[in-house]
Amino acid sequence: LPPKAINLVTGAGSSVGNAIVDHPNVAVISFTGSTEIGSKINARAGAQLKRVSLELGGKNAQIVMDDADMELALEGVLWGAFGTTGQRCTATSRLILHRKIHDKFVEKLIERAKKIRIGNGLDPKMQMGPLVSQAQRENVKRYVDIGLEEDKAELVLGGNELTKGAYAYGWFFEPTIFVNVKPKMRIAQEEIFGPVLAVLRAKDLDDAITILNDTKYGLSSSIYTRDVNAAFKAMRDIEAGITYINGPTIGAEVQLPFGGVKGTGNGHREASHTVLDIFTEWKSIYVDYSGRLQRAQIDIQAG
C-alpha cells in the first residue's frame, strides 16, 4: 500500500477516540465495541452528519432440537463457546436445548469440555488459550459469581481461574458451564466475552426461538435440526443478522454480509460487497450522447 494509506493511532477512547470522532476531516467512523459506547459515538458523530458503522455486543445462542445430529451439535457448541476462549463477538454464550435431550446432552457436553487442552495459544496441541488481560479474567470471574448468586442457576463445570505452573504466564480460566439458567438471568442477558456457557431448557421450537430472541442483542444464531420446516421457521423468526443451520455461531464467511440487529448494530454490514456501502459514496452520472440540441441549434442558425 502507498505511504499514509493506513494510519494506526493508539490511545484511550477518552483522548484518541474522541479526537477521531470529532475531527472534521474524518468522514466515516467504524466502531467495534460495547453497545453503550457505540450509542454514544453514534449520537456524537451523527450531530456532525458523519456516517457511522457499529458492530456491538452479542449474546449468541445455539438451539439444539430433539431430532438433531447430537455429535455435530456437541462439536458446534464446544468450539462455539470455548474456541478463542469465548473472546469473539459471535461466540456461543447460550445453549438452548430441547427438553427431551437436555440431560443427556449436558452430560456429554461436560464430559467433552473437561478434556479441552488449555495452554499457550501458540502451541498447536492446545485447544484453548488465555484471556486477553487480567482485567478481563476478573470480569469473567465476576460473572461466575453473579451466576452463583442468581436463583437456581447451577454451576456444573469450571468457574475458576488457572494460575499455577504454566498457567502463571497468562490469564487462564476454566471452561465454565451453568445449567438451570432462566432467560432473564444476567448470565443469560449480558455479554461476558469469556469461556462461560449458559444452558437453557426449551419446551419446543417456538419456545426455543422465543428464548433466543429474548435479549437486546441480535448478532449470530444457530439451530441444529434435521427438520427442514423447523430450519426455515428459524431462518424467518430468529432476530439476528446471522443464522447458521447445523453449524456453530462462530463462522465468519467473508463472502456474506456480517453484522447484527437490535442492540448489536445500526444496520450496516461488514464483509462481502455490502461493506462498500459504508466506505464509499454513490455518485449518479448522466451523459447525453444524442447531440440533438446541438443539431437543432445549427438548423436554426442555418435557417
CB burial readout 142-171, b (16+ within 10 A) else e: ebbeebeebeebebbbbbebbeeeebeebb
- The answer to whether 97 touches 67, Cβ cutoff 8 Å, is no
Q: Which three cell numbers stand for residue 218?
A: 441480535
Query: How far apart (Å, rounded) are the C-alpha atoms in residues 213 and 261?
Result: 11
Maximum CA pair distance of the chain? 101
Identify the DSSP state of 265. Answer: B
Query: How far apart (Å, rounded) are the C-alpha atoms in residues 34 and 178?
Result: 24
Place of cell 448522466: 286
Query: How far apart (Å, rounded) are the C-alpha atoms in residues 106 and 272?
Result: 36
Active-site residue set: 55, 89
Beta bridge partners of 52: 29
Enumerate long-range contacts of 269-274, CB under 8 Å, 24 or more apart. 269/241, 270/30, 270/53, 270/55
- The answer to whether 128 touches 118, Cβ cutoff 8 Å, is yes
Q: How far apart are the first and last CA of the chain?
A: 60
Which SS3 state, helix, strand or coil, does residue 282 take? coil
Q: Which three cell numbers stand for residue 49?
A: 452528519
Place of cell 443427556: 104
